Amino acid sequence: MKPIIAPSILSADFGQLAKDIEMINRSEAEWVHIDIMDGVFVPNISFGFPVLKYVAKLSKKPLDVHLMIVNPEKFIPEVKALGAHTMNVHYEACPHLHRVIQQIREAGMQPAVTINPATPVALLQDIIRDVYMVLVMSVNPGFGGQKFIEHSVEKVRELRALIERTGSKALIEVDGGVNLETGARLVEAGADALVAGNAVFAAPDPEAMIHQLHDL
C-alpha cells in the first residue's frame, strides 16, 4: 500500500501560503500537516489559531494537527473548530495521556500520540490500542530542516511489532528529515504516513516530489 503523504506547512513560503496550499490541494498528498509550537515544550514558536483558520479555510485536504505544546488538552475545542481530522499530542507533554486521548475522540477527532527521539516505543504499550496513530519524531522537535536520526528506522520496526503483537489498528507516521531516501527505508520498516517539509517545499517541483514520495 502506498504511504500517506502529509506536507508540513511549517516549511511553506508564508508570503505565498495560499499558493502553497493550492499546490497541496492539486497534489496527491492525502493530508496537510500543521505543527503548533509554544516556545515552552519546544524551543520555538510557530503559528497560532488565526493563521490556522486561514489554512483550514483554503485546504481541501484533511488537517493533521501536531501540538508541540504543554497542556495540549486545553486547545481541543480550538483544534476541533478548525475541522481537524487528527489531533496529535506528545506523550512527554501529557501526564494523563489516556484521558487526553479520550477527550480528543469525544470531540470527534482522531487521537494520535507523538514520541520524541529519546522516548522508547515500549512506553506506548498501555495506550497503543486506544490511538488512531503514533507519530515517531525522527528529529528533535522544534525546527525544520534537521538531520534525520538513523535509529528512527529501527524504532518504526519496533512500533510495527508492538502494533501487531497487541492487535492495535494504529497507523505509524514519521516526521523529520523525510526525503526519498529516508522515506523509502521508513516505509520498508512499516511506516504508513510520511510528513515531508523541506523535501517538498524546497524541491524544484513540489507536486512532482509529492508524487515520488507517494510511490515509495
Catalytic positions: 35, 175
Question: What is the Cα–Cα distance from 174 to 114, expressed in whole angstroms?
Answer: 9
Residue 143, marked binder: yes
Residue 33, marked binder: yes
Q: What is the CA radius of gyration of the chain?
A: 16
Residue 39 carries which side chain, given as an amino acid letter? G
Size of the chain, expressed as the number of residues it contains: 216
Residue 181 carries which side chain, given as an amino acid letter? E
Residue 142, marked binder: yes
Residue 177, marked binder: yes
Residue 98, marked binder: no
Rounded to 5°, angle at Cα 112 from 110 and 114: 165
Question: What is the Cα–Cα distance from 45 to 128, expressed in whole angstroms?
Answer: 29
Helix 49-58 vs helix 17-26: angle between axes, to the nearest 10 degrees? 40
37: which strand partners? 68
Residue 129, CA distances (Å) to 93, 96, 98 in order: 20, 16, 11
Residue 175, marked binder: yes
Question: What is the Cα–Cα distance from 150 to 133, expressed in whole angstroms?
Answer: 21
Known binding residues are: 8, 33, 35, 66, 142-145, 175-177
Known binding residues for a divalent metal cation are: 33, 35, 66, 175
Known binding residues for substrate are: 8, 66, 142-145, 175-177
